[in-house]
C-alpha cells in the first residue's frame, strides 16, 4: 500500500489555500458589485459621455474593467446602446467583452493555473490540455450562449485551466455577438420598447437561449458517453 501522507502531501496545501483565497476574493467581489451594486453604472455612463469624441473608446475601456469586477454585462451593454445607438454601441460592447475576457483569463492564469495543475496531477492536466487544444475555442463560444452563467467568472476559470488568450478573445467575440446586439439594442430602444428594434433584440435573445440550451445538453451527453465503458466491455477487477 502506498503511503500518501509523506513529505509530498503537505506541499499541496499552499496550492489549496491559494485557490481558496482566489475563489473567496472573486465571490466577495461578485457579491459587492453584482448583488449589492456598490458601483453606480449611471454615473459612470454620464461621466464617459462628457468625454466627447473619445467617448466610445473611453466607454469600451471602462466597461471592460467594470465587467471584469462583475458589473452585470447587460447593464453595461444597455448603457452602450443609450450612448452610441445600436450599431456603434454593439461594436463598443463587443470590444469591451473581448477585453474583459482577456483580462479575466490572464488574471486567472497567473492566480490559479499552477496551483490547479499541481492539485489535478500530470495525467488530468494533460487531458485538460488536450481538450483545450481540440475544443477550447468552442468551449468558450458555447459558454457564452448558455444563459445564467457569469461571463467574467467563466473567463477566470478558463484562465485558471490554462486556456490560451487567443482562444478566449476569439471565442468571446463569436459567442458574445448575439447578446451584445440584444442588450445594446434594448438600451438604444429603451424609450420605445415596442419598436421593431426591440422586437428583433428579443427574438435574437430567444434564439440564442435555445441554441445555448441545446449546446449544453449535447455537451453533457457527450461527456456522459465518454465516461461510459464500451458496450460488451468487462469491468476491471
Report how many domains make up the chain. Answer: 1
Q: pLDDT tens-digit profile of 108-120?
A: 888 877 777 777 7
Could you report the per-residue pLDDT of 192-232, keeping only the tens digit for each? 888 999 999 999 988 888 887 777 666 656 656 654 555 55
Distance, CA of 144 to CA of 126 (rounded, Å): 25
Confidence band for 235, pLDDT divided at 50, 70 and 90 = very low
Which pairs with CB-CB distance under 8 Å and at least 24 residues apart come from 30-38?
Answer: 30/70, 30/150, 30/153, 33/69, 33/70, 33/71, 34/70, 34/71, 34/72, 34/150
Q: Can you give the residue range of the structural domain that contains 221?
A: 15-226
- Per the domain annotation, does 3 fall within a domain? no
Q: How confident is the model at residue 173 (pLDDT cuts 50, 70, 90)?
A: very high
pLDDT in tens, 128-168: 777 777 788 888 998 888 877 889 999 998 998 889 999 99
Q: Is residue 213 part of a domain?
A: yes
* Distance, CA of 149 to CA of 34 (rounded, Å): 13
Domain assignment present for 48: yes
**167 inside domain:** yes
Query: Is position 236 within any domain?
Result: no
* Beta-carbon count within 10 A of 65 CB: 13
Q: Tell whether 233 is covered by a domain.
A: no
Mean pLDDT of 64-77: 94
* 153, 157, 161 from 111: Cα distances, Å: 13, 10, 11
Domain presence at residue 10? no
- Residue 231 falls inside a structural domain: no
For helices 151-160 and 55-68, give the axis angle rounded to 10 degrees. Answer: 70
CA distance 140 to 151: 9
Amino acid at each position: 500500500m502506498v503511503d500518501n501522507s509523506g513529505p509530498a502531501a503537505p506541499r499541496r496545501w499552499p496550492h489549496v489555500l491559494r485557490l481558496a483565497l482566489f475563489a473567496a476574493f472573486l465571490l466577495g467581489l461578485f457579491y459587492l458589485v453584482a448583488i449589492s451594486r456598490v458601483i453606480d453604472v449611471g454615473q459612470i455612463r454620464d461621466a464617459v459621455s462628457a468625454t466627447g469624441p473619445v467617448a466610445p473608446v473611453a466607454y469600451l475601456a471602462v466597461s471592460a474593467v467594470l465587467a471584469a469586477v462583475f458589473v452585470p454585462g447587460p447593464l453595461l451593454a444597455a448603457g452602450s446602446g443609450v450612448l452610441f445607438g445600436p450599431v456603434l454601441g454593439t461594436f463598443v460592447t463587443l470590444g469591451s467583452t473581448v477585453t474583459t475576457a482577456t483580462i479575466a483569463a490572464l488574471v486567472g492564469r497567473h492566480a490559479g493555473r499552477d496551483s490547479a495543475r499541481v492539485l489535478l496531477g500530470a495525467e488530468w492536466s494533460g487531458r485538460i490540455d488536450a481538450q483545450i487544444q481540440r475544443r477550447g475555442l468552442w468551449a468558450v463560444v458555447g459558454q457564452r450562449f448558455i444563459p445564467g452563467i457569469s461571463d467574467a467568472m467563466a473567463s477566470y476559470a478558463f484562465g485558471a485551466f490554462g486556456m490560451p488568450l487567443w482562444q478566449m478573445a476569439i471565442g468571446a467575440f463569436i459567442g458574445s455577438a448575439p447578446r451584445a446586439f440584444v442588450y445594446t439594442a434594448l438600451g438604444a430602444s429603451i424609450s420605445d420598447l415596442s419598436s421593431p428594434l426591440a422586437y428583433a433584440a428579443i427574438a435574437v435573445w430567444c434564439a440564442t437561449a435555445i441554441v445555448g440550451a441545446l449546446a449544453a445538453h449535447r455537451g453533457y451527453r457527450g461527456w456522459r458517453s465518454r465516461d461510459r465503458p464500451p458496450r460488451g466491455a468487462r469491468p476491471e477487477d
